[in-house]
Structure formats: structure tokens, C-alpha cells
């Protein structure tokens, strides 16, 4: 496929644009608290999973500027959630393509709503495919639980096929995405749920409690064995 021309970009990106401002995103505000919860969930789980990595940038509802004339007044979009690989992990107010070595998101997840679903399935999908060349694109509806994913193959998005659990594989993240408790979550290649910080604390507490229970049972077994040995006239302290 030949590179998309500036005219093609103008044709693709025909929706009303908002003028530049000091806000962190040019996109309309998140519609519901449920949308906000979902974005925070994705962001916190991935950042904790990759806490030792310094070669990525992940964000939610942040503007991506991609004007070929390097103007922030034209050609910008705000994916609900996106990840850029092979870049410095540092805070940013926005993602400016021409200031980031021409890098576009490697993964995008859009959270569907009644007012955005048509654009997410249509215009944005076409922009992500034809202009951004984003390898992995997913969308998720937190109300209907509609979930779909696409992989860029030879310049065109091909639907990803779910596994037995209904999860979709992201080759870029090397993680599965799937629905758990009516929310979109990440899963490891072996099927483990990527926990939130709160869930991780609960897991560690449960592991400590299990370890304490096992230690108590071991002490009880040792005490019973020692008592049995004493009944037989054997001093447990003399046994190596």
C-alpha cells in the first residue's frame, strides 16, 4: 500500500476538531464513571506488570498529534487507551508524533459508547489502519460487553480469533485481553489475570495467611511426633 497522502488524511479526518488548549486531551470528556474505571484498570494493571520496564509509554484519553506540517491545530485524535513501545517511559501532556521519532501507538483500545461507537468502528479504525498503521486495535463496550480485536496484516486489519476463553491475543503486548467480571482485563500467556495493585495486596496477604497456616500445621505435626517419641522412651532432641 502506498503511503497515505495529506489529502487522504484530510478526507479521513473530517470530523469537527476542537481548538488547541492547555487540557491534557482534545477529546471530549469521558462519558461515564464506568469508562473512567475501565481506563484506570487497564493502565494500572499494565504499568504494574511492566514496572521494571522503561521502554514504553501507556496513557488514557490523551491526545495524539500527527500533522505532517507539525501543527497541533490539525490532525489529532485521542484514543481511549494506547501503548507505544520502544520509547522512553516518562510523563507527557500529549503524544506528538513528530517529537517522538515518528512513532505511533502500537496498541489502541477504544471504550465504546452510544455516541462514539460508530466513529470507533468506522472512521477511527480506518485512521488507525491507513495512517497510524497501529498493529493491534481493540474495542470494548462496558455495557453490552461487545469485544473485538484486529491485527494489521499487509496494511489491513484482520479480525483476531478468540481462544476457548473468548480472549484475544495482542502480539504487541504479548498478553491476552478478555472479559472478567464485566471488565476488560489483561491475562498472561499462561492464563493468569494481571492483578490491580489492590488485588496484588490481597493475593500477597492470602499467600502469607496460607504460609502461616502451613507453618502452624507443620508445628502441630512435629509436636505430635515428639510426643509419640517420648511415649516410646525416645528423646526427640537426640534425633538428628
Q: What is the pLDDT of residue 43?
A: 96
- Give the whole-angstrom CA distance, residue 182 versus residue 102: 36
206 burial via Cβ count (<10 Å: 0-12, 13-18, 19+): exposed
Residue with grid cell 498493529, as numbered in its chain: 135
Phi-psi region of 75 (alpha: psi -120 to 50; beta: other; left: phi over 0): left
SS3 of 89-109: the string is CCCCCCEEHHHCCCCCCCEEE
Asked whether 208 and 200 are in contact (CB, 8 A), the reply is: no
- Give the whole-angstrom CA distance, residue 220 versus residue 214: 10
- What would the pLDDT profile of 114-153 be if each residue is shown by its tens digit? 999 999 999 999 999 999 999 999 999 999 999 999 999 9
Question: Would you say residue 2 has pLDDT above 50?
Answer: no
- What would the pLDDT profile of 183-226 be if each residue is shown by its tens digit? 999 999 999 999 998 887 877 676 666 777 787 778 888 778 88
For residues 159-179, give the mean pLDDT.
98
- What would the pLDDT profile of 32-52 be if each residue is shown by its tens digit? 788 999 999 999 999 999 999
Determine which helix (DSSP H) or strand (DSSP E) holds 218, and give its type and residue range: helix 197-231
Query: Grid coordinates in use for 206?
Result: 492470602
Measure CA 51 to chain center: 13
Q: Is 127 helix (H, G, I), strand (E, B) or coil?
A: helix
Question: Would you say residue 1 has pLDDT above 50?
Answer: no
Please choose, from the candidates 166, 168, 175, the residue with its C-alpha nearest in 3D space to the C-alpha of residue 151: 168
Question: How many angstroms separate the Cα of 81 from the Cα of each of 32, 140, 165, 181?
Answer: 15, 11, 23, 20
List the beta bridge partners of residue 95: 64
- Give the whole-angstrom CA distance, residue 91 versus residue 47: 13
Amino acid at each position: 500500500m502506498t503511503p497515505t497522502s495529506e489529502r487522504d488524511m484530510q478526507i479521513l479526518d473530517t470530523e469537527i476538531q476542537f481548538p488547541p488548549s492547555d487540557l491534557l486531551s482534545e477529546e471530549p470528556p469521558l462519558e461515564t464513571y464506568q469508562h473512567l474505571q475501565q481506563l484506570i484498570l487497564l493502565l494500572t494493571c499494565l504499568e504494574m506488570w511492566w514496572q521494571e520496564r522503561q521502554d514504553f509509554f501507556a496513557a488514557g484519553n490523551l491526545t495524539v498529534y500527527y500533522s505532517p506540517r507539525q501543527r497541533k491545530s490539525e490532525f489529532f485524535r485521542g484514543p481511549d487507551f494506547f501503548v507505544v513501545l520502544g520509547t522512553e517511559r516518562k510523563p507527557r501532556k500529549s503524544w506528538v508524533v513528530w517529537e517522538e521519532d515518528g512513532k505511533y501507538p502500537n496498541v489502541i483500545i477504544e471504550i465504546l459508547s452510544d455516541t462514539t461507537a460508530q466513529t470507533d468502528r468506522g472512521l477511527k479504525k480506518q485512521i488507525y489502519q491507513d495512517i497510524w498503521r497501529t498493529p493491534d486495535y481493540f474495542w470494548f463496550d462496558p455495557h453490552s460487553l461487545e469485544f473485538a480485536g484486529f491485527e494489521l496484516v499487509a496494511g489491513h486489519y484482520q479480525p483476531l480469533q478468540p481462544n476457548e476463553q473468548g480472549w484475544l491475543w495482542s502480539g504487541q503486548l504479548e498478553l491476552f485481553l478478555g472479559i472478567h467480571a464485566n471488565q476488560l482485563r489483561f491475562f498472561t500467556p499462561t492464563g493468569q489475570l494481571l492483578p490491580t495493585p489492590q488485588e496484588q495486596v490481597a493475593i500477597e496477604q492470602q499467600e502469607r495467611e496460607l504460609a502461616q497456616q502451613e507453618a502452624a500445621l507443620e508445628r502441630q505435626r512435629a509436636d505430635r511426633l515428639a510426643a509419640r517419641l517420648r511415649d516410646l522412651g525416645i528423646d526427640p532432641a537426640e534425633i538428628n
